[in-house]
A = this chain, B = another copy of it.
């Protein structure tokens, strides 16, 4: 049930940028604060930008900043974008359902569904603002 380092790193970066309130931060800055290797962080920031969470400015005095207000950034969406569905099994995934031959009689499916609901509810009701303000 692990979250990959990529997902963890992305959230760390979003938090670091959220704490900057509008100022741009360079990759080196963010790398320093989050302890994510700069070259790897670069990839992740680019992906977050393509997903619409970040804006960037090139050249000298360039850097990254949030593209949305922290309370508009839903953690569940971020994780799904970076790691795929939250559901523990394809047969109970809403965003990328996969059929299973046991489907009809499977005694596990309702159980997996319970777990998916529990995880999704937590992640989808939490925003970057909640994390930054320590309001969980």
Contact = CB atoms under 8 A, between A and B. Distances in A.
Contacts of A85: 1
A1 B136 contact: no
10 contacts: A1-B83, A3-B88, A3-B89, A11-B108, A15-B107, A15-B108, A35-B101, A111-B136, A114-B136, A118-B118
A119 B88 CA distance: 11
Interface in A118-133: 118-119, 122-123, 126, 131-132
Contacts of A115: 119, 122-123
A27 interface: no
Given A3-B1, A83-B1, A118-B122, A8 B108 contact: yes
